[in-house]
Amino acid sequence: MSLKEKINPAKLPEHIAIIMDGNGRWAKQQGEERIFGHENGVKSVRDTVEAAAEIGVKYLTLYAFSTENWNRPQEEVIALMQLLVHTINAETATLNKNSIRLQAIGDLKSLPSDCYNELQEAIENTKHNSRMTLVLALSYSSRWEIINAVKEIAKKVEEKTLSASEINEDTIAKHLCTANIPDPELMIRTSGEHRISNFLLWQLAYSELYFTDKLWPDFRKEDLYEAILDYQNRERRFGKTSEQLV
């Protein structure tokens, strides 16, 4: 039986989030510049998006560029932004063909204008697609997102359209960039790093975390299946005891 066939469709995560890490190290292993790794990472994105859509995942979030990544060498940042514009432009037709809706979370206004415009256009052109939502986290960091949410909530309290005592989990969730997106059941990070790097801190509260040593440009459909199978073998207790679950 193939890995894909072993996946239980009844226990499929509705939302998978991925920290695509290891492009630079992959390039270095080949004796190439870091950007070569980013370019090859696009193949993994294509493969993963296709695999997720095929098996019926409804939301796939990819961490593509963090707020902290702006501090990388200027030439890498520029090259990454160019790659982004080029990829979004080149992939829109495929997204439509596969009925995949594109969305983005993060401080999008901080992106270079060509990148921002390309992104908005692709979001607009794919907005009626319904098979899967692909969420790109761009210029994203969770602390930035939480600060924004707190500011918006505080403003409503100041304007007296919300009372402080009414604030609950739902209020916070609705003020995050992910307001209309369910929390990920599964978070995958490649490249052997065991950290969250400012990604979806609120939303990952009860997610299953899966780490693989594979570097992102080597990540393929089979690796996604393996992560899902691992997830399906876990017991999600949400604070309860095992006995309570049966």
- Judged by CB under 6 A, the residue of 193, 206, 234, 237 near ligand IPE is 193
Nearer Cβ to Mg ion, position 54 or 75? 75
- Judged by CB under 6 A, the residue of 191, 203, 207, 212 near ligand IPE is 191
The reply to whether 218 sits near ligand IPE by the rule CB under 6 A is: no
The reply to whether 114 sits near ligand IPE by the rule CB under 6 A is: no
Query: Which residues make Cβ contacts (< 8 Å) with residue 21, sequence separation at least 6?
Result: 189, 190, 191, 193, 197, 215, 216
115 binds, among ligand IPE, Mg ion, none (CB under 5 to 8 A by kind): none
The reply to whether 197 sits near ligand IPE by the rule CB under 6 A is: yes
> Where in 47-86 is the site for ligand IPE (CB under 6 A)?
63-66, 69, 80
The reply to whether 21 sits near Mg ion by the rule CB under 5 A is: yes
Question: How big is the site for ligand IPE, counted in residues (CB under 6 A)?
Answer: 18
Least spacing, CB of residue 222 vs ligand IPE, in Å: 20
The reply to whether 23 sits near ligand IPE by the rule CB under 6 A is: yes
> Could you say which of 47, 69, 98, 148 is catalytic?
69
36 binds, among ligand IPE, Mg ion, none (CB under 5 to 8 A by kind): none
Q: Which residues are catalytic?
A: 21, 69
Binding interface with ligand IPE (CB under 6 A): 19-25, 63-66, 69, 80, 191, 193, 195, 197, 216
